[in-house]
């Protein structure tokens, strides 16, 4: 008895899109590893409940630290914006691209970049380049 070969007349297009590999460990990766560990454990020697509770506690701690870090970054950004607004209307000194110290009145602030910038004359000066602030206006 002979068997006819199966011919492939088309191509399979139902492949899942490739996902890029994760670059950092987060709670999703941690939980995936925990589930894989539970799924593949030896039934004759199950995972120690103390170890499992420890891993769940580590997950909860990781989530709390991640949230705390996010809040700290937001607070730092807000503090920089408030500092920039507090400088508007004051005379400031900064180092320009040529290394010369320039003094002028800060007339505005921009929050478009990661670090706020002040408008001093016609120059946009990053807040971290300010050398001194005179309490009185120009």
Domains parsed from the chain with CATH numbers: 49-138 (2.30.30.100)
Q: Which residue has the higher pLDDT, 26 or 16?
A: 26
- Rounded to an integer, the average pLDDT of 60-86 is 91
pLDDT tier, 70 (very low <50, low <70, confident <90, very high otherwise):
very high
Q: Is the model's pLDDT at 125 over the cut of 60?
A: yes
DSSP for the chain? ---PPPP--S----PPPPPPPPSS--HHHHHHHHHHHHHTS-TTSPPPHHHHHHHHHHHHHHHHHHHHHHHHHHHHHHHHHHHHHHHTTSEEEEE-TTS-EEEEEEEEEE-SSSS-EEEETTEEEEGGGEEEEESS--
- pLDDT value for 40: 82
Token match 């505005």: residue?
108
pLDDT of residue 21: 65
Q: Is the pLDDT of residue 36 over 60?
A: yes
CA 91 from chain centre, in angstroms, equals 34
pLDDT at 138 over 50: no
Q: What is the pLDDT of residues 87-97, one digit of tens each?
A: 999 999 999 88
Predicted TM-score (pTM) of the model is: 0.56
Average pLDDT of span 55-61: 83
pLDDT tens-digit readout, 105-117: 999 999 988 889 9
């Amino acid at each position: 008895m002979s068997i006819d070969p199966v011919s492939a007349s088309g191509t399979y297009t139902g492949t899942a899109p490739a996902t890029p590999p994760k670059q950092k460990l987060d709670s999703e990766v941690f939980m995936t590893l925990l589930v894989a560990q539970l799924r593949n454990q030896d039934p004759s020697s199950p995972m120690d409940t103390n170890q499992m509770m420890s891993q769940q506690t580590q997950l909860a701690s990781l989530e709390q630290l991640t949230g705390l870090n996010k809040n700290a970054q937001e607070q730092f950004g807000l503090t920089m914006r408030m500092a920039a607004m507090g400088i508007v209307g004051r005379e400031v000194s900064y180092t320009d691209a040529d290394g010369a110290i320039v003094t002028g009145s800060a007339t505005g602030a921009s929050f478009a970049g990661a670090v706020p910038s002040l408008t001093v004359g016609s120059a946009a000066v990053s807040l971290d380049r300010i050398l001194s602030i005179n309490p009185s206006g120009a």
